[in-house]
Amino acid sequence: MAEQHVPFRGGGFRPQSKRGVGVLVFVFVLLFLEWGTRAGWITNLTLPRPSDVGATLFDLAQSGVLWTHLGPSLTRLIVGSLLGVSAGIGIGVLIGLFSYVRAGLVPVVAAIFPIPKIALLPLFVIWFGIDEGSKYALIALGTFTPTIVATYGAVDNVDRGLIRMGQSFGLSWLSIVRKIVLPGALPGILSGLRVSLAIGIILLVAAEMLGAEYGVGAYILQAGSLYDLERLFAGVVILSALGVLTSWIIGSFEKRLLAWRA
Amino acid sequence: MTTFSRRGAMGLLGGAATLPMLGAPALANTKMTVGALRFTSHAASFVAFERGYFADEGLDVEFKFFQAAQPMAVAIASGDADYAVTAISGGLVSLAEKGATKVIGGALSEEKGIDGQKILASNAAYEAGLTSPAALAGKNYAVTQAGSSFHYMGSKIAAAEGVSVKFKPLQKVGAIIGAMKSGQVDAWSIVPHIAKGLAGAGAVKIIGNVADYIPNYQVTTVFTSAQNAANERGQTEAFLRAFSRGADDFNAALVDKTAGDEAATDMVKLIHKYVYADRPFEKAEKSIRNGAMRINQNAGLNMSSVQDQLDWFKSEGLIKDSITSEALVDSSYAPTI
Amino acid sequence: MDLTLDHLTHRYGDMLVLDDVSLRIPAGEILCVIGPSGCGKSTLLRMLGGLEQPDQGRVLQGGEAPEGCLNPLTFVFQDFALLPWRSVAGNISLVLEDHGLPKAEIDQIIDSVLARTKLSDFRDALPRQLSGGMKQRVAIARALAVNPAVMLLDEPLSALDAQTRELLMEDLVSLWARQPFTAVYVTHNLAEAVRLGHQIAVLSRRPGRIREVIQIDLPLSERAPGLPELDALQSRLWHLMRDEALAADQELVHG
């Protein structure tokens, strides 16, 4: 029998990064929608024309109205999530380190986590006032619980062998926490942050439901109540951009802080 | 099936234009959905339903209840409801501009001499000197959403007093009531049955009447989808006829009080099935009587008020400048005032 | 400094793992502990280093720690236990930072232990850039940095391939030759035991008991692979352990 090539059968099942395909799909969808809205088989009641949304965004930026909305929203997002995330990391580390704290707080966190924070907004208005306080509180609480869960999970996942090593060299408790536990938990905490901050952005719209004159969320809600689809989608695009931006910021943090992993 | 047989009947009878003359059975068993809020201001629809005026016109009406006016407009546009009564809001105008909805008549109106919508101050603001609308400068004025009727009223009142106020969007009437009670916002305007109920309980203070600032204000309108207005003339006119009979009964019983005490009590009982149904009759009765405002005869529409509202929306940049009252209103159904 | 195990007995739940183990580790010598898997060798070592407490019996340390000793009982782990986010120098400095030494002295210690373990060129490398053998060299350098009285080596070469193992054994021998240290070396590899041990303690399978302690008089520097004396010793050890290892292998895994 003549010699044959052994057939190759090891292909596939190997995710590879294909640059540009995502952008291509995105552009294609936009062009498709543009065509549909221009041709008329997508009515102006169903979806706005992408170019009109672009024009609305451009007008927003040019008239400076974008900044009157983006400024308060960014402040709320930054202050709220900074409060929530730092408290969440602190308490998450404590839960990870101390059995009593864990026994006491894990059920509480499990009880708070699934509460739709939006439902508590009227209560927050009474507690923290209708102005910025209630908005900070809502975003803080929304980012707080997922951060706790991610943090104590990350602390739990720190290699116990490394901690034993630290103990075997007589390192102090504080040194072990600072030099072994925290850096070891950092990857888990950072990937938890991605989720927490996305939730923060989602809650931004909810936070601006009550008593906000300006803000991207208030702008979207107003556009929704006016059934102004161009502005609605312009607002949604801004939120998406905000999401991409935070994800990118965390990504660059990861690149810098977790260079040891790659 | 209903649609098909009705179309067949219409063809036989020589088209839609002749239908109104043919009387009740022409539209036998036409199913339709009517959007409503559980407010006294929607009483005309409830009366028409309970007293069989819709059935007389051959309309098989089913109510769909909403929490706010805005979603009703969207439901009409999406075809989930056929007819509804609500305030002219920015959303309604936008939907009309997109060719989705049409105003076909007027309903609730402010009228001098009839107790209308009230201007309220929170207790805290009242004590701090907000005893009349003239003192509104710099105060927080509660609205459900930008472009809502509350926004319009607050803006007109502030303009008339020559002051500027800060509008606080709180999405829902319930949220506003909470914020008024706790003093988070300073002022608001609302239909009389809610206003009097709150003031009676000592939760807020009444500091003025909307009618003094916006005379002949066309508060709510009857509207439907542009599709119904253009192509279902028979059905739409039948709806308006039944609605107007309900309105007449309501006005006679509770607004003009020409029908006598017994008729008034009967009317309150009827409305109580829909409004404040969770409260005992004795408590609800007062609120329902308090809330009685004129519902225009024959669904007449005050065009000058509609125009004024449109102009205000435009001046606030809430709707496109190109929108005309013709785009919003189909005036072929109801008389204009 | 020397260590004494005094009648150690230990259980995990109902399971007896160590039964009345007594042993003396003389200063300046390497004691190898061998035994089939699951005989409690590593438990024994952790007790020696104070990472675990025996149910009964005592671990005693006698004599003074040497001058400049920062951590008398110092481990070298099978899995290296290096912090992946610290460089080679950083991993060594980790165990020095808590002692309030001036920076210059820390740097000098690092330089010296890196030189002794032939790692000077890898000072700033991260662990992920190093091979297994290099990682274990770093771990040994880290252990040397605290100038230990006793080194506790827990199967330090088990995770490495045969060639690397051979190289590291030579390194350990030459380190000891330069400056003799006290060590307990736990392994299941008989070749390592006969190359590195001044004494070899043979543990029985679970529950671990001392079966025999064998003295090897041949100096470490003269031992080499393939030496007939060592081969004979290795086969004697294998004889001692064979049946036990077989039985241990056939046991069901507990926990």
For C109-151, how does the pLDDT look when each residue is reduced to its tens digit (9 = 90+)?
Answer: 999 999 988 899 999 999 999 988 899 999 999 999 998 888 9
Torsion region of B293: left, alpha or beta (phi above 0 gives left; psi -120 to 50 gives alpha): beta
Indicate yes or no: CB of B171 within 8 angstroms of CB of A209: yes
Taking contacts as CB-CB distances below 8 angstroms, the residues of chain C near A165 are 75, 77, 81
The pLDDT, as a whole number, for residue B239 is 93
- The CATH number given to B3-111+218-328 is 3.40.190.10
Residue A109: other Cβ atoms inside 10 A = 19
Q: Does any CB of chain A come closer than 8 Å to the CB of residue C80?
A: no
CATH 3.40.190.10 is held by the domain B118-212: yes
Amino acid in position A220: I
Indicate yes or no: CB of B168 within 8 angstroms of CB of A211: yes
Distance between CA atoms of C96 and C118, rounded to whole angstroms?
Answer: 20
Indicate yes or no: CB of A170 within 8 angstroms of CB of C85: no
Indicate yes or no: CB of A225 within 8 angstroms of CB of B89: yes
Across chain B, how many H-helices and E-strands are there? 15, 10
Residue B213 and residue A160 in contact, taking contact as beta carbons nearer than 8 Å: no
Encoding tokens for residue B201? 């309980």
Taking contacts as CB-CB distances below 8 angstroms, the residues of chain C near A256 are none
**Helix residue ranges per DSSP H, B35-122:** 43-50, 53-56, 69-78, 90-97
Segments in chain B below pLDDT 50: 1-25
Please give chain C's pLDDT, 255 residues, in tens. Answer: 778 888 888 888 888 888 888 888 888 899 999 888 777 888 889 888 888 888 888 888 887 777 788 888 999 999 999 999 999 999 999 999 988 889 999 999 999 999 988 899 999 999 999 988 899 999 999 999 998 888 999 999 988 888 888 888 988 998 898 888 889 999 988 889 988 999 999 988 878 888 888 888 888 888 888 888 888 888 888 888 887 777 777 776 654
Encoding tokens for residue B293? 């405002």
Tell me if there are at least 3 CB pairs under 8 Å linking chains B and C: no
* Nearest beta carbon to residue A165 from set C70, C81, C126: C81
The pLDDT, as a whole number, for residue C105 is 92
* CA-closest candidate to residue A149, choices A200, A101, A89: A89
Grouping H, G, I as helix, E, B as strand and the rest as coil, residue C65 is coil
Residue C52's Cβ-count burial label (10 Å; 0-12, 13-18, 19+) is middle
Q: What is the pLDDT of residues B248-286, one digit of tens each?
A: 999 999 888 888 888 899 999 999 988 888 888 888 888
The pLDDT, as a whole number, for residue C159 is 86
The pLDDT, as a whole number, for residue A1 is 65
Q: What is the pLDDT of residues A103-133, one digit of tens each?
A: 999 999 999 888 888 888 878 877 888 888 8
C49: nearest CA partner in chain A: A168
pLDDT exceeding 70 applies to what percent of chain A? 99
The pLDDT, as a whole number, for residue C83 is 94
Distance between CA atoms of C34 and C40, rounded to whole angstroms?
Answer: 10
Sheet with B204-209: list strands edge to edge.
Answer: B166-169, B140-143, B187-190, B118-122, B204-209
> Residue B219 has what DSSP assignment?
-
- What are the start and end residues of each CATH 3.40.190.10 domain in chain B? 3-111+218-328, 118-212
A26-49 average pLDDT score: 88
Distance between CA atoms of B39 and B271, rounded to whole angstroms?
Answer: 9
> Residue C251 has what DSSP assignment?
S
Per-residue b/e over B165-182, b at no fewer than 16 CB within 10 Å?
A: bebbbbbebebbbbbbbb
* Nearest beta carbon to residue A222 from set B145, B166, B178: B145
Q: Which of C94, C124, C154 to mutate to test the interface with A (most CBs of A within 10 A)?
A: C94
Contacts with B, A 138-177, CB within 8 Å: none
Amino acid in position C164: T
- Dihedral sign for Cα B12, B15, B18, B19, please: positive
Residue C34: other Cβ atoms inside 10 A = 25
* CA-closest candidate to residue A247, choices A208, A193, A205: A193
* CA-closest candidate to residue C248, choices C21, C55, C36: C36
Encoding tokens for residue B253? 């019983």
Q: Which of B86, B139, B151, B168 to mutate to test the interface with A (most CBs of A within 10 A)?
A: B168
Q: What is the pLDDT of residues A187-246, one digit of tens each?
A: 999 999 999 999 999 999 888 877 788 899 989 988 888 888 888 999 999 999 999 999
- Widest distance between CA atoms in chain C: 55
A161: nearest CA partner in chain C: C81
Q: Chain B interface residues facing chain A, Cβ-Cβ under 8 Å?
A: 70, 73-74, 77, 89-91, 94-95, 98-100, 140, 145-148, 166-171, 175, 178-179, 182, 184-185, 318-319
Question: What's the 3-state SS for A50-80?
Answer: HHHHHHHHHHHHHHCHHHHHHHHHHHHHHHH
Q: Which of C77, C80, C83 to mutate to test the interface with A (most CBs of A within 10 A)?
A: C83
The pLDDT, as a whole number, for residue C255 is 45
Taking contacts as CB-CB distances below 8 angstroms, the residues of chain B near A125 are 175, 178-179, 182, 184
Residue C217 has φ and ψ, to the nearest 5°, of: -90, -20
The residues near C231 (Cβ < 8 Å, ≥ 6 apart) are: none
Amino acid in position C155: E
Q: Chains that contact B by 3+ CB pairs under 8 Å?
A: A
- Dihedral sign for Cα C247, C249, C252, C253, please: positive
Residue B197 and residue B171 in contact, taking contact as beta carbons nearer than 8 Å: no
Give the DSSP per-residue string, C122-139: GTT--GGGS-HHHHHHHH
Distance between CA atoms of B34 and B32, rounded to whole angstroms?
Answer: 7
The residues near B94 (Cβ < 8 Å, ≥ 6 apart) are: A226, A227, A228, B319
Residue A200 and residue A77 in contact, taking contact as beta carbons nearer than 8 Å: yes
Beta strands in chain C (DSSP E): 2-12, 15-25, 30-34, 56-62, 73-76, 150-154, 182-186, 199-203, 210-215
